[in-house]
Amino acid sequence: MDRNSGGSSLLFTAAAACLLLTSLDTVTKYGGLAGTVIYLAAGGAAISIAYRFGLPWFFSKLTDRRSIAYFLIVVVIISIAAAYGYQLANSGRLGPGSDIDDAMIIGANEILAGRSPYYQRTYLGGMLSPFPGTMFLAIPWVVAGIIEFQNVFWLAALFLAAGLALRSYVPALGIVLTLLVFSPTVYQVIFTGSDHLANTIYVLVAMWMVVVSVRDGSMRRATAWAAFLGIAMASRSNFLFLYPLIFSAIAQIGGVKRALILCGISALVFVALVVPFWLYDPAAFTPFIIQAEKVRMTESVLPFAGVIIPLVVAATSLALAFRKFSTDLFELFAYSAIVQAGALIIPSILYAVSIGEPSFFLGTAGYGMFTLVFGVVAMWIDIWRDRTVSVNE
């Protein structure tokens, strides 16, 4: 793609919006209106400079070996920052902190004890909102007592997955650095031990590896990743809207039969994880209770919002699924970012109207990660595609 083309300008605008708008929750919380204006202006300028001048330097200096070495340095720095930031966030000196990490810790411990986690409350009195998959995937970190490193681990997993899928660790490093350089909310999530970043990454990695395994002709590996995708999907309901896109990507690359088998395996794992907890006590299944409360608030502005919004988002996903996907899967992740943005922005607007004041992402910091990670991966797939074509020419 020619970087002076209209298509490239549109991609740049979309990428800038994805990078900046998904962190507005954190920026407005700590910077207010003035900080938000400065952030948008400075961030837009920084993205423009990086796009026009940083990329040529980036590609001229980096090899796969150097990219891996630099990434290891980044992991060490982020790990130290996570350890210190997590202690600071839980000290109470900067406010009450987040109880999302507490929800994962409680949930994992309750599951290990053979009990339903959904009767418990966090230290802030909040109900547990994640589906069981989140808690199962948090068990190793909870048992080891290092929940603050979960996000760092999944950043590393994203780096490895991108390197394998794109057959180079140069764009993989670009993905990780873009998230760390341009998104304040990434640090807010890492420091508080929230799982919004990790959650999005393990869903994305599972999607990526399923389709790449099909592309590479390994049905056995694709089956294993499909099972993991079911666990990953059993985390938050907003990711379920991505199934039409996943099915389409597999079908276009490996055929409808493989798509039915792999999506069927993923769905069965999802049902096996979620349904037993719901059947045990439907009235106490707090993920549905929390969603119902948010729906109630939006329905005060838009009647039947609880039906209309999911139908609109699902219809968007289905419509995008009928479009042509390239083998590098740019469309899969770009469309996933669009679908996740729709699932977030529409109820957020209604929620803000219902409470009578601006409120980004339903009053919960970190929800922007659901869109950000998909958008950044799509952006770097396109950049790497353009780079590869330019070098070959």
How far, in Å, CA of 352 to CA of 342, rounded? Answer: 15
Range of the domain at 168: 6-388
**Residue 329: which of 242, 223, 219 has the closest Cα?**
242
d(CA 280, CA 192) in angstroms, rounded, equals: 31
Q: What are the beta bridge partners of residue 127?
A: 121
Q: Are 348 and 360 in contact (CB under 8 A)?
A: yes
User: What is the reported pLDDT for 106?
Assistant: 96
Asked if the structure places residue 361 within a domain, the reply is yes
Compute φ and ψ for 193, nearest 5 degrees.
Answer: 75, 15
pLDDT at 146: 95
Judge whether 365 lies within some domain: yes
Count Cα atoms within 13 angstroms, Cβ side, for 233: 24
Contact (CB, 8 A) for 273 and 110 = no
From residue 71, give the alpha-carbon distance in Å to each of 156, 160, 175, 177, 308. Answer: 8, 10, 11, 9, 43
Q: CA geometry: angle at 80 spanning 79 and 82, to 5°? A: 65
DSSP state of 86: H
Among 94, 70, 72, 71, smallest CA distance to 84 is for 94
Report helix angle 132-144 to 196-215, nearest 10.
110
Q: What is the end-to-end Cα distance of the chain in Å, rounded?
A: 12
- Is pTM beyond 0.85? Reply is yes
Give me the average pLDDT of each 10-residue run along the chain (393 residues): 51 82 84 88 91 90 96 97 90 71 95 96 91 96 95 98 97 96 93 94 98 96 98 96 98 97 98 96 92 78 88 96 95 96 85 72 71 95 82 54
Domain assignment present for residue 66? The answer is yes
CA separation for the pair 312, 67 (Å, rounded): 41
Residue 299 belongs to some domain of the structure: yes
Q: 53 is written with which tokens?
A: 């001048």
- Provide long-range contacts, Cβ within 8 A and 24+ apart, for 83-91: 83/148, 83/149, 85/148, 85/187, 85/190, 85/191, 85/192, 86/148, 86/191, 86/192, 86/193, 88/191, 89/191, 89/192, 89/193, 90/193
Q: What is the pLDDT of residue 4?
A: 45
In the chain, the number of structural domains is: 1
Q: Is residue 393 part of a domain?
A: no
pLDDT of residue 343: 87
